[in-house]
């Protein structure tokens, strides 16, 4: 496997962008793990949480070792504390991750652009981001993974008044009263639209720890998808002992990779 530190100019953000990229490399002399390559390289777009950056999955898990025998590339971008959204007072991070980044990375590395070879997953803020991006672009991703999060990464408007001042200011920076109806932020409606309009349906793996502070959001998401007749998204929900920790995510990113291949 190869690890590439990628720094490039983002037209969407109007400044430099960065991401970590794991590239498959078939090696007969590699000691300690198997490795593989595929003719057209599949890609996992792996998203970080609110307190982290593009390096965190490499530092806190063995993601490189997990994807090596699968021949999958991994792209891990940095999006600051944007919740993968187009901010009312800040950068257009949704457009950056969902539109510009795939074009740049496919151009640099020649990854497969086929829908069946592109997957998106994240933890916490990145888990909600993966849901948002994947369900707004069902023709782009075949599998979505959400770890320790729910379908939303912004508060219900009815709950806004209960937020503390720091969270209120953060929400102002993100949305500032923007109408989110019909946008990528309208995640449940986008899921319904996929079915109503006959669009390609991504499969969804979702997992949250039994001690996770975002459990309520996860349960709302679980109830939404399992309430759909026939489980059209092949939605799988797992709730195992654990909290909002890297021990949980290190185990469950492996389960997500197994779900991709099932």
Q: What is the pLDDT of residues 3-31, one digit of tens each?
A: 999 999 999 999 999 999 999 987 767 76
| Whether the predicted pLDDT of 160 surpasses 50 | no
Q: Can you give the pLDDT at residue 1?
A: 85
Helix or strand run (H / E) with residue 115 = none
The pTM assigned to this predicted structure is: 0.91
The confidence band for 90, taking pLDDT boundaries of 50, 70 and 90, is: confident
Dist. CA 101–CA 43, nearest whole Å:
12
- In this structure, are residues 149 and 127 in contact, taking their beta carbons and an 8 Å threshold? yes
Residue 97 DSSP label: I
Q: Is the pLDDT of residue 168 over 70?
A: no
Q: What is the mean pLDDT of residues 83-89?
A: 88
* CA-wise closest residue to 155 among 195, 214, 212: 214
Measure the N-to-C terminal CA separation of the chain; round to a whole number of Å. Answer: 23
Decide: 144 and 234 in contact? Cβ < 8 Å.
no
Tally of residues, the chain: 262
Mean pLDDT of the chain: 90
C-alpha to C-alpha distance for 173 and 87, rounded to whole angstroms: 7
Q: Give the residue-averaged pLDDT of 122-138.
A: 97
């Amino acid at each position: 496997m190869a690890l590439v530190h990628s720094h490039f100019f983002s037209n969407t953000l109007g400044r430099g962008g960065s991401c970590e990229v794991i590239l498959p490399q078939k090696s007969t002399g590699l000691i300690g793990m198997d490795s593989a390559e595929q003719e057209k390289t599949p890609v996992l777009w792996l998203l970080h949480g609110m307190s982290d950056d593009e390096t965190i999955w490499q530092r806190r898990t063995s993601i490189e070792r997990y994807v090596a025998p699968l021949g999958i590339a991994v792209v891990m971008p940095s999006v600051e504390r944007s919740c993968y959204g187009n901010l009312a007072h800040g950068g257009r991070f949704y457009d950056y991750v969902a539109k510009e980044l795939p074009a740049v990375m496919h151009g640099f590395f020649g990854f497969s652009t086929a829908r069946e070879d592109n997957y998106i997953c994240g933890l916490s803020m990145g888990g909600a981001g993966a849901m948002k991006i994947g369900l707004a672009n069902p023709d782009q991703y075949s599998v979505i993974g959400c770890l320790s999060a729910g379908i939303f990464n912004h508060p219900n408007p009815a709950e806004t008044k209960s937020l503390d001042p720091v969270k209120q200011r953060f929400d102002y920076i993100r949305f500032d009263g923007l109408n989110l109806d019909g946008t990528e932020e309208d995640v449940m409606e986008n899921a319904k639209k996929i079915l109503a309009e006959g669009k390609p349906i991504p499969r969804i793996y979702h997992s949250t720890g039994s001690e996770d502070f975002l459990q309520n959001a996860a349960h709302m998401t679980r109830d939404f998808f399992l309430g759909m007749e026939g489980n059209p998204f092949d939605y799988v929900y797992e709730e195992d002992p654990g909290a909002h920790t890297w021990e949980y995510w290190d185990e469950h990113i492996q389960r997500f990779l197994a779900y991709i291949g099932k």
